[in-house]
Structure 1
Amino acid sequence: MQCLLRALCTWIVIAIIVTIILFTLSDEKLFSVTSYPFKWIRNMDCSESFHLRNQSKRLLLSVNRSSCSCEGDHLSSKVPQESLGAVEKRRAEEYRQHQIRTAMNLNKIILALPNSPLQYPIHGLTVIPMKKSLIPGLALHADKRAKYKVSLSVQKGVLSVNNDLKRVQVDGQDQNTLTISSTCLDLINHLLSGVMYSSTVYHIRTSDMVSFSFEDYEAIFPITVRRPSVPVLYDPGEDINSLVTIAIKTFLRYAELKVLIKSIRRFYPDIKIIVADDSLNPENVSGTNIEHYIMPPAQGWFAGRNLAISQVTSKYFLWVDDDYVFNGKTRIESFVEVMEAVPELDVLGGDVDGNQFYFSLMYDVGDENEGGCMSRLFMKVHSPLPGFDGCYLVDGVVNFFLARTDAVRRVGFDPFLKRVAHTEFFIDGLGALMVATCKGFSVGHQKKRKMFPKYNKYRRLMNDEKGKLAHHFFKNHLKCIKY
């Protein structure tokens, strides 16, 4: 029995050895590493097993954009086909300029090599345009050598260092490439701790890439070049009347507007109310702390929003439709409490007679030619809003929301959209506005009365819907959209 066990063990060992040999001699493709900046070199000394391939280029990886797909309307079909070619050409040029305006040259993936002796800042280095600034944290950690030599180079600026050491040679002062060499590592590091950068091309918002090298090692790290912006602050005052303005857009519905204003005054007798009015034959709307702005007739929903919000002087505004009604559940203070506790929030929605009507937007940027794909998912949230039960982070909310005045002004309401518009504001604000919704922050909806033909004529037009989709194709660089 023992002999059989020994024989069996021997055969198992032989089988394992043969398997290892066959695996080692198999196709080299099994060992290829194509997604990293190294290439496997067979039959070489262990210390030479890897070598960097096109090192300075491979440290920066481009992000490839691929075409997207969605189930919604393909928007190019909404553009008059006889002019589609010219529209696409203009859209491509506008998108190219948009990328130049918004890019900061930080849209590449930067690789950090393993076991590098180079120390450098990887994030957070921001400098003022054309002003000398220290590059902190530069250092070399290398074993003993007869001589050390490091180089730094930039693309949009110059480098310099104050050298008062005789045993250190510095070349390239106030040029785009700076070289420091010495037989003493401590002296090298002393000078590296004082390397200065200054951009030579004025731009209020851009970036530069620094290449830092020693022997066969190289590192690349970004410098953000940005002009500091001046804070714009709103004095919150001492009560809700100083902190919030109520904004309303009205069109022909004066009976509903009067009911709304009366309900507001029941709970907030002194708060400012701004009314933007594009009715065909304007009627007088007056009262204490009410501002009534008359527009040219039928200018539309978003044009009126822009006008109303342009006149707000408070930190926040509360948006309400002209057929809403305040009730015992309408507490502006509840909105303010959340917004003040979460300064990152820009828009906070409530509910209208229990209907929250919130949604999330799924957006794939797509490729540069066809454009992106957008879909709207009703009652879909991103995550709960920490610290507030019943509140969730979303991308869009109902037409009853509290918003930061400055944040919404930066996005604005597209006046091209006259009748069919709501989600479109949140599409324009995607990535710029932090939006949330809270259950129980309520306003009432007046009972619908039979509207007269003149109002219904302007309420919803099929041409507006088709024109909106063609507008998305150009303005938002979208290939398709699903509402």
Structure 2
Amino acid sequence: MDTYGRDSSNDGENGDEGIPVSESDRIGPIGEREPGEERSSQKPNERPRVLQGSPASRYWDNTKETHRFKPWLRSTGRARVPFAESRKPGALQTPPQKQRETSSDTMRGFSIRRNRAAAVAIDGGSVSPRNFSLAHQCTCPKGSELLKDYIPEDQYEEFVKRRAKELQQYKTRMASELSRLLFASPNSPLQYPIQGYIVQPLTSTLIPGLGLHAENRSSYKVSLSVSKGILTTNITPEQTIIKGSGKNKLFIESRSLVTLNNLLAKVSYTSTDYHINTGDLATFQFEMHEAVFPIAIKQPHVPVLYDMGTDISSQVTITTKTFQRYRHLRVLLDSIRQFYSNIKIIIADDSLETEHITGENIQHYIMPPAQGWFAGRNLAVSQVTTKYFLWVDDDFMFTEKTKIENLVEVMEAMPELDVVGGSVKGNQFYFALIYEEGEEIEGGCLYRKSGGKFQTLPGYPQCSMTNGVVNFFLARTDAVQRVGFDPKLQRTAHSEFFMDGLGTLLVATCSDVSIDHQLTTSENKSPLYNKFRYPGQGDVEFKLKLHFYKNHLKCIKYG
């Protein structure tokens, strides 16, 4: 890894990593493919089928390669009848040898489970198909490293088995019933909450907004069912039947629509098992109408707040890691004190021969020798007590353009941000991470694209959203502590922190705050220093092997 956080062993051939691109070169939310790259082909029988003008709907099951059929409801005046009962002669029929009974595992109401492609045709029109499958083979960008090539052949089979088992454990932790895809039925008389119904575990909570809007009938009957809790309602009034109160399926029948809606307004949900972050799906039915709505089950967090105080010293701690470069370190410290006389500085030091660093408000932590880059970062950040920390390399140098206050202002104006990078000698060195999950056996594809950024921050045109930044950044302390720095990576590491934080850390880069870089001295040319500074082939191969297992990647490209 070089001074700016670039992995020198994986830099592009043109050596142009980190060169900012023009506004027209910015990438969109999904990123761009390199010229000449091919998208993975899709077999014809894996494509969702759209039945134009048909009164039926089909979708393709990629797993079992079977057509499945379910009649959809069509409005015919006041009554609603299934298409199967109102089909005209000559209408498209389901293939006789492939017609199967629909189950909850295929399409129920308007919910589709994972790994299905849906196409819906309603009342002679069609809805454009979308493939909602999460499991697909990703496309490795041209020039990617194929990571399985770095796994010894005699270890590969067992290695992959262990990885597959660990992936399932990961998915169990991350999965939620609330991630299931739901469709809202058209012209439904059912009213129900579609978002924002959150309950505490094991706590009875009213379900807001339940209601029925139907025309006159002699009797009205609805049902509600859940899988991870129980449903209760008020006492039974006259001319009303309630069954299943205190169970997971509740039936209410009344001759009065007003009475029915009053009872629905008093239905409560209580989860039956303790979990801090999960969910349930409630099914609401009336005659041939069915709706499914989410219930979020969450244990509220106890807030952890930081006292920002009145000046920068109570808001930010400066952190750095040093190894065999005390001359550079002292220049850095002197430059900090020229502009910030009282700000706390934390130093993690894994030098082979240590020197004592003294000074006002300086904490110097001696580590076992040569523990590496990320171990030092972990140690330094673990001792931060302020809301933010500023990361700098030990051979940087503060100037009049190193305005920490400007970065704090951006973070405070946009509390969702976790990391804001600046520039080193005017160069920002930001990058985008373009990631495709891929399927379970082979893994995903990751492309680190130098110069990739997204939209500018509102009110801060000098700042843009991105996925990774240079080794000079302000970060939210608690957010970075949750992601952490993998101490297995000792020599070749920087981008890997942002890879581990992808989808967790919101990152931006700003061009108006800069730090200088010291000139090369004899310390940098020392054979002892260079032995640890520059990674060998074994370090590079270890990192790629780690990506294969830990990040479940098939390939990676450092661009």
SS in 1 for 2:58: coil
Show the counterpart of 2:268.
196
User: How many angstroms does 1:29 deviate by?
Assistant: 7.7
Q: Which has the larger radius of gyration?
A: 1
Q: Distance in 1 between matches of 2:84 and 2:455?
A: 45
Residues 60-101 of structure 1 show CA distances to partners (whole Å, capped at 9, x for unaligned) of 212322110113111111112211111111111111011111
Match of 2:206 among 119, 134, 143: 134
Change (3 A) 1:55 1:136: farther
Match of 1:263 among 335, 350, 367: 335
Q: State yes or no: 1:50 paired with 2:74.
A: no
Q: How does 1:66-81 map to 2 (within 5 A)?
A: 66-71=136-141, 72-81=144-153
Residues 18-40 of structure 1 show CA distances to partners (whole Å, capped at 9, x for unaligned) of xxxxxxxxxx8863532598547
Q: How does 1:14-413 map to 2 (within 5 A)?
A: 31=54, 33-35=57-59, 39=71, 48=81, 50=83, 54=102, 57-58=107-108, 59-63=110-114, 64=133, 65-71=135-141, 72-413=144-485
Q: State yes or no: 1:467 paired with 2:542.
A: yes
Show the counterpart of 1:455.
529
SS in 2 for 1:106: helix
* Structure 2 length-normalised TM: 0.79
User: How many angstroms does 1:166 deviate by?
Assistant: 1.6
Q: Could you tell me whether the CA contact under 8 Å between 2:318 and 2:392 is conserved in 1?
A: yes
Q: Distance in 2 between matches of 1:398 and 1:40?
A: 54
Q: Distance in 2 between matches of 1:309 and 1:47?
A: 63
Residues 410-430 of structure 1 show CA distances to partners (whole Å, capped at 9, x for unaligned) of 000000000100000000000
SS in 1 for 2:279: strand
User: How many angstroms does 1:131 deviate by?
Assistant: 0.7
User: How many angstroms does 1:171 deviate by?
Assistant: 0.3
Sequence identity percentage: 53
SS in 2 for 1:329: coil
Q: Could you tell me whether the CA contact under 8 Å between 2:236 and 2:242 is conserved in 1?
A: no
Match of 1:422 among 489, 494, 499: 494
How many residues are treated as equivalent by the alignment?
Answer: 455
Report which of the two has the higher share of helix: 1
What is the letter of the counterpart of residue 61 of structure 1?
I
Q: Distance in 2 between matches of 1:229 and 1:445?
A: 42
Q: Distance in 2 between matches of 1:356 and 1:109?
A: 40
Q: Could you tell me whether the CA contact under 8 Å between 2:70 and 2:102 is conserved in 1?
A: no
Report the aligned-residue RMSD.
2.0
What is the letter of the counterpart of residue 531 of structure 2?
K
Residues 154-183 of structure 1 show CA distances to partners (whole Å, capped at 9, x for unaligned) of 001100001241221100010000000011
Structure 2 residue ranges without an equivalent (≥5)? 1-50, 61-68, 86-100, 115-132
Residues 356-412 of structure 1 show CA distances to partners (whole Å, capped at 9, x for unaligned) of 000111011111221111001111111111110110000000000000000000000
User: How many angstroms does 1:55 deviate by?
Assistant: 8.0
Q: Distance in 2 between matches of 1:461 and 1:104?
A: 42
* Structure 1 length-normalised TM: 0.91
Q: Could you tell me whether the CA contact under 8 Å between 2:407 and 2:474 is conserved in 1?
A: yes
Change (3 A) 1:281 1:161: same
Structure 1 residue ranges without an equivalent (≥5)? 1-27
SS in 1 for 2:224: strand
Q: Distance in 2 between matches of 1:30 and 1:153?
A: 35
User: How many angstroms does 1:230 deviate by?
Assistant: 0.5
Q: Could you tell me whether the CA contact under 8 Å between 1:364 and 1:372 is conserved in 2?
A: yes
Show the counterpart of 2:552.
477
What is the letter of the counterpart of residue 307 of structure 2?
D
